[in-house]
A = this chain, B = another copy of it.
Amino acid sequence: MSSTFGTCLRVTTFGESHGDSVGAVVDGLPAGIPLTEDNIQTQLNRRRPGQSAITTQRGESDSVRILSGVEGGHTLGTPIALVVANGDRRPSDYDSIKGIPRPSHADYTYKVKYGVCASSGGGRASARETVGRVAAGAAAEAFLRERFGVEIVAFVSSVGGISASTPMLDGADSAASNAISQNSIECIDLNTLTRGMVDAYPVRCPASESAKAMEAAILDVMENGDSVGGTVTCVCRNVPAGWGEPVFQKLEAMLAMAMLSIPAAKGFEIGSGFAGAAMRGSEHNDVFVKKQNGLGTLTNRSGGVLGGISNGEPVYFKTAFKPTATIGSHQTTADYEGNDAVLKPTGRHDPCVVPRAVPIVESMAAIVLADMALAQNARMR
């Protein structure tokens, strides 16, 4: 199931960085959902390189075409094929890496796994593969919005050591909040955050002081031929209680798989996450209270899930991304035969992946939630 994600909603992506095109087939989406190329293009544009001074300048226009599954602006319930042509190909950029696997890239492992190498090196481990995910995610999101009013907003919560604070969605318990935001200087409210607020900053951190510091950090690594990592936090609001399949396909398990499947991801936490591992039960437990649509919880350290199933509270989680492996400095390493070799700076790359990872995180979240929505419906309650 390598290039396919999901059970009831199945997303299959295809395409090499330097082949004809990239895209996705989205199968299982209900019929009658409003969907146009424009809906999808909006998210693709947010993923596209060259949006600002702090992203790579590879000039892809990334225009999506819907090949099937949509007629008259609505889904037919049949597979939706989405294609984006690869425009700005420069395979010659990769000439210098022939014979030398790039450190912390997938060149070496792809060679071992397949016995062959695509001209672009790491094959499908390219960031360009995520075009298909974002296109598919936009379709999944159209369904979630139309049928359930689900809202998904992601943002950059840290770059290098600089982080913006995100309380555990309760406000009541500052000790707990502090546990996850000790280095932060500003606080972001996950209950009201919008994509507009996020996009107001090139670095996509909706807190002006933090954003300024993050931007400076990125410009600094750019100047020094280096790169830097970061984290993306995502909140999903209006998720009905009851989504997520018990045991192995728990909602948090599928989100973790989805996030760790994004290139450069190294960590995932939901709700209290790693900070929760340092807490006591009496301070971590979310007690129930009466809310408008049934029961809710007073606090939300659980991150909106209990036993793998959504409980009606906002679902929020954070994903860690390592610094971009491609850097603008010489690296002393080995060639495929094990001989000493020096890898020269090459190609174009982002000094920090997290601003462009924001729509990718949202897309994968949408795909997971839509799959879980359909799975719950199959249960016939």
Contacts and interface: CB of A to CB of B under 8 A. Distances in A.
A341 to B, nearest CB: 8
A226 B282 contact: yes
Nearest to A329: B282
B253 A257 contact: yes
Nearest to A28: B2
A250 interface: yes
Interface string A286-299: 11111100110100
Contacts of A322: 272, 276-277, 279, 284, 301
A6 to B, nearest CB: 9
11 contacts: A1-B10, A12-B79, A25-B25, A108-B241, A109-B310, A113-B242, A266-B276, A281-B324, A281-B326, A285-B331, A377-B379
Interface string A101-137: 1011110111011111011001111000100000000
A21 interface: yes
A274 interface: yes
A150 interface: no
Contacts of A226: 280-282
A336 interface: yes
A305 B108 CA distance: 11
A208 interface: no
Nearest to A22: B68
B115 A32 contact: yes
Interface in A1-49: 1-5, 7-8, 10, 12-16, 19-23, 25, 27-28, 30-32
Interface stretch (A55-63, A184-192, A196-204, A227-235): A227-235
B125 A246 contact: yes
A324 B114 CA distance: 44
A20 B39 CA distance: 18
Given A160-B278, A246-B123, A322-B277, A110 B288 contact: no
